[in-house]
Amino acid sequence: MFRRHPYLSAATFSYLAVVAWLTLSPQAPDQRDGPLWQLAVFLDRFSATQWLTFNDLEFVANIALFVPLGLFFVLLVGKRRWWLALALAVVLTSGIEWVQQFIPSRVSDVRDIVSNSLGATIGVVVTLSVAAARERARRRHREHNYDNYSQKR
């Protein structure tokens, strides 16, 4: 798998390193300096977005963080084994949450497993949808070319 797709493998491992840095590096207990907190403060200024809390934004950010992993894992293991890509992502996020229990400044939360798994699921579904659309387009193109060739004979 890794030898067949060396660039994809490198991109996947690079993204996994970013995820590890974001999720496993020690962080200060007070997140008021972080970009999500600042976004929450900014959105609180507008009446239309005051309903969004920091927890909501964190949940959505966790979803977004794992969408690329669903995509990378499907591309690595193949469309037919999409379920393996999803299982890898769920095992990964469960492992991250387990390790976070032992990092004093981190908080392990079941909501993170749910949001990360949801993000990976979205990545898998999007990847499979794009692949299916490309395959339909290729099939139509081949049929169109075959029809044109048959008419010329």
Residue extents of the structural domains in the chain: 6-152
- Report pLDDT digits (tens) over 126-138: 999 999 999 999 8
Q: CA–CA separation, 19 vs 90, rounded Å?
A: 14
- End-to-end alpha carbon distance in the chain: 44
Which range, 25-29, 70-74, 141-145, is most confident?
Answer: 70-74
- pLDDT confidence of residue 148: 61
- Report pLDDT digits (tens) over 36-62: 888 888 888 888 888 888 889 999 999
Residue 145 has pLDDT above 90, yes or no: no
Q: CA–CA separation, 31 vs 22, rounded Å?
A: 13
Q: Which of 23, 9, 27, 2 is nearest to 95 (CA)?
A: 23
Chain mean pLDDT for the chain: 88
CB 73 within 8 A of CB 89: yes
Mean pLDDT, rounded, for 97-118:
93
Q: Which of 62, 74, 54, 42 is nearest to 111 (CA)?
A: 62
- pLDDT confidence of residue 113: 97
Q: Which of 30, 23, 134, 19 is nearest to 70 (CA)?
A: 19
- pLDDT confidence of residue 129: 97
Q: Which of 66, 103, 110, 60 is nearest to 85 (CA)?
A: 66
